[in-house]
Amino acid sequence: MPDTARSSTRDASQGKSEIDRLFALQKAAFAREPFPTLETRRSRLDALIRAVEKNEARIVRAIDEDFGCRPRVETLLAETIITVAAAKAAKRALAQWMRPKAVATPLHMLPAKSRLEPQPLGVVGIIAPWNYPVQLALSPLAAALAAGNRVMLKPSELTPNTASLLKEILAAEFAEDVVGVVLGGVETGEAFAEVPFDHLLFTGSTAIGRKVALAAARNLTPVTLELGGKSPAIIDDSADLAKAALSIARGKLFNAGQTCVAPDYVLAPRAKLDATIEALAAGARKLYPEIDTTKDYASIVSDRHFARLKAMVAEARDAGCRIVEIGSSNALHPQRKLPLTLVVEPPARLAVMQEEIFGPVLPVLAVDGPEAAVAHVNRGERPLALYWFGSDAARCDRTLRETVSGGVTVNDTLFHVAQENLPFGGVGKSGQGAYHGEAGFRTFSHMKPVFYQKGPGGALLQPPYTEKTDRTLGLARKLM
């Protein structure tokens, strides 16, 4: 066996051993404390907030090192600020979320009472991606801790500096029987997905999400899958084109397009196709005049992803598509920076129209009216996000009614994800389940139905059956 293969096997074995040890430790701890108090949960959320706030500068540096270049402001906005906001919002609302919810009891069952009592699930697993390696690890962690669970976290191996830092800063605040971090590569991730968690959350690609779901299914582990897909930006004829294009460019180029809810293609009115391209170019130049020298624009995370994006553009160029690059043509290795690259009217068979792009490449297609835009969206898989631009409220409402997507922002991009009180999740192949806010608390809780009997109840309907039983049934029918 080659040394590299032997080393990989040894690392995988060690990773599985560590996963099993940590899982057993957390299961035992949960058995001792199956319902953490409000004070305990708040203290754990405080610990998470401290871990982020005390180490914010280190988080910025680690992510910058992992990407090659990640703007400080983008990391603050999308990683630390949004994570702390999620934890603080959960802490504020936690007493209300934990309170049993009264449920109406039918008249014929009175004077009994019914309610839903939120209960922690147990040990939750979180598999986090590389594109937002702190937010997409710690935001669901906040929800799982608020719900009273123990949590095992597997960060992405593609951001190793951030992964190691997460392990360090969380270990400084939490006992490992409350929060534990498992480091490792693909084999470790596969072993992690096979653990019989009480709930497993995965954020990543649809292809890997399918594998995670299959692994979890062997244990009947419930899963939340935050995936992706091709999220459209629809420009209605009633839109302010300059404002819409600037917003699309901003949403597409934030983190260099390495965002699961980034606009993946644009549908523009046919008569305004050229004007849309010009407006997108103007918006991108306003945001990033020279992408190869500015620190305001992120690098592509790895050579492999950089090559994949370049190959997509090359395929479109070879197919005869019009390619418009907005930015410096010198954005090459080692910075791995790509200009916003518009691909005009690409055929459906090309990779840019078949795969989630996850980078600053943006197909722009012409459509003949709102109905054609809706039909185009509905021909594809259901997207994680949809963006609609315009001032015609009736057309907007119709588009939202006639399309199915994970979430929507109207007249902007990305912001529905930043609204902590809105659930975040996909639909169909873009994901299943949701978190953020109370939706996250419920995802990581069992909403236990409890019926409190106060009257004669079943005693009126038990054998031996008599005429009195028939009268009781008749009365029950009338009261239903």
CA distance 352 to 333: 22
Verify whether residue 226 is a known catalytic residue.
yes
* Alpha-helix residue ranges (DSSP H) falling in 332-432: 351-354, 370-379, 393-402, 415-418
pLDDT tens digits, one per residue of 445-465: 999 999 999 877 777 778 888
- Taking every pair of C-alpha atoms in the chain, what is the biggest distance, in angstroms? 91
Residue 234's SS3 state is: strand
Mean pLDDT of 284-297: 86
pLDDT of residue 102: 95
Taking the CA of residue 276 as centre, how many other CA atoms within 13 Å lie in the half-sphere pointing to its CB? 28
Map 255-317 to HEC letters: HHHCCCCCCCEEEEEHHHHHHHHHHHHHHHHHHCCCCCCCCCCCCCCCHHHHHHHHHHHHHHH
The two structure tokens encoding residue 213: 């779901």
Residue 260 annotated as catalytic: yes
Q: pLDDT band at residue 328, thresholds of 50, 70 and 90? A: low
The full set of domains in the chain, from first to last, is 8-227+433-447 (3.40.605.10), 232-425 (3.40.309.10)
Per-chain mean pLDDT for the chain: 94
Task: Please say if the pLDDT value at position 288 is more than 60.
Answer: yes
Give the pLDDT mean for 163-187. Answer: 97
How far CA 295 is from CA of 68, 159, 162, 311, 335, in Å, comes to: 10, 19, 19, 25, 11
Is the pLDDT at 212 greater than 70? The verdict is yes
Query: What is residue 332's predicted lDDT score, i.e. its pLDDT?
Result: 53
Sorting pLDDT into bands at 50, 70 and 90, what band is 13? low
Q: For 340-399, how does the pLDDT look when each residue is reduced to its tens digit (9 = 90+)? A: 999 999 999 999 999 999 999 999 999 999 999 999 999 999 999 999 999 999 999 999
Tokens of residue 151, six digits: 């949590």
Alpha carbon distance 345, 49 (integer Å): 46
Closest CA to 384 of 359, 358, 366: 358
The pLDDT tens digits of the residues spanning 155-167 come to 999 999 999 999 9
Catalytically annotated residue among 69, 260, 321, 396: 260
Enter the pTM of the model.
0.94
Catalytic-labelled residue, pool 173, 194, 226, 420: 226
